[in-house]
Amino acid sequence: RGGKLFYPSHNWQAFFLQGTKTLAYELWEDLGFRAPDNIIIPTGAGSNVMGCDIGFSELISAGEIRSLPRLFCAQPLVCSPIATAILKDLGRDDGKTPPAEWNQPTKTIAEGTSIQEPVRLQEILAA
C-alpha cells in the first residue's frame, strides 16, 4: 500500500551464502581433501556459484588447497542471463550475440535455473 515492494528472496540474506559455501567443503572432503580443477554448477540465482567461491577461498586461506577450481555456470539456452553478461563483458555484444532467444520467458524442465534477472549478477560474474 505504501507504493514500495519488498523482495523477500533468500538470495539477499547475508548468512544464506555462508550456508551454500558448504558445497565447496563437501566437494573438497569427498575428493580426498583436494579441490577439483573444474566444477560445473547448474545456476539460476547463483547462490551455489558464490558459495563455492567463498568456501574454496576459505580453503585457500587456511592453506588446505593451492588454487581455486574454475567455476562454470550451466543454464538453459532459453534463459541464460549470466552467459549474456559474460559475452557483453568480453566485448562480444554485436547485437547478434547472444541470440535474443537466450533470454525469452520460455518454460524449461530446469525451472530452478530459469531466472532471468539474478539479483546478485555482478557477484556471480566476480566469482
Q: Region 113-124: what's the mean pLDDT?
A: 86
Other Cβ atoms less than 10 A from the Cβ of 109: the count is: 7
CATH for 34:
3.40.50.1100
Question: How many Å apart are CA 49 and CA 23, to the nearest integer?
Answer: 9
Please tell me which residue, 83 or 63, carries the higher pLDDT value: 63
Range of the domain at 57: 14-126
Mean pLDDT calculated for residue range 1-8: 62
pLDDT tens, 89-108? Answer: 776 655 555 555 555 666 77
- How confident is the model over 21-32, as pLDDT tens digits? 999 999 999 999
In a domain, 46, yes or no: yes
Q: Exposure string (b/e) for 36-71, b if CB count within 10 Å is 16 or more? A: eeebebebbbbbbbbbbbbbbeebeeeeebeebbeb
Q: For 55-60, what is the mean pLDDT?
A: 98
1, part of any domain: no
Asked if pLDDT for residue 109 goes beyond 70, the answer is: yes
Residue 9 lies in a domain: no
**Domain total for the chain?**
1
The structure's pTM equals: 0.79
